[in-house]
Amino acid sequence: TERTLVLVKPDGVARGLTGAILARIEAKGYTLTGLKLVDADRAMLEQHYEEHVGKPFYEPLVEFMLSGPIVAATVEGQGVIAGFRSLAGATDPTTAAPGTIRGDFGRDWGLKVQQNLVHGSDSPESAERELGIWFG
Ligand code: ATP
């Protein structure tokens, strides 16, 4: 079976949505095989978001991810990488479809960084790389 890294970002934790988000993952039939609350540091985030270094939203993104605790989860299941991204919905919460995590709970409201509640790895290679950063 496949595995992926899911993060409940600081906005999700601060708004008390961790349980609701994890419940959707479990209801879908995926298995939580690792779970912890993490205070990220800059070095981890620089690795995690290496593809975005230098983009206009990079610094606000890092500040946002440093603004409070993050819930990191290892999630397993058949097709979970694409499956979780489908549960999460489009990156921009203003256009994410109803029924998705971001569509139902996400906010954007013209902020410098999209506070879109969750992250999910986008490929098996990213999943392994990111699990190394968050779970060592
Ligand atoms: P997805 O892959 O579904 O887009 P993601 O979380 O992997 O979700 P990335 O494109 O990797 O999205 O971007 C990382 C994060 O940076 C986003 O989740 C969002 O918080 C923020 N972000 C991305 N693009 C923008 C943008 N144009 N403006 C503001 N914030 C952005």
Give yes or no for a contact between 63 and 9, defined as CB atoms under 8 angstroms apart.
Answer: no
Q: Phi/psi at 89 (nearest 5 deg)? A: 90, 180
pLDDT at residue 112 is higher than 90? no
Number of domains in the chain: 1
**Of 55, 70, 91, which is best to mutate to test ligand 1, by the most ligand atoms within 8 angstroms of its C-beta?**
91
Q: Is the CB of 91 under 6 A from ligand 1?
A: yes
Residue 51 DSSP label: G
- For residue 107, what pLDDT is reported? 84
Give the distance (Å) from ligand 1 centre to CA of residue 126.
Answer: 15
**pLDDT single digits (tens) 72-89:** 999 999 999 999 999 999
Residue 48 lies in domain: 2-135
Please give the ipTM for the structure prediction: 0.90
Q: What is the pLDDT of residues 17-55, one digit of tens each?
A: 999 999 999 999 999 999 999 999 999 999 999 999 999
Q: Check pocket membership of 25 for ligand 1, CB cut-off 6 A.
A: no
pLDDT at 109 over 90: no
Find the CATH number of the domain harbouring 131. 3.30.70.141
The mean pLDDT of 3-26, rounded to a whole number, is 98
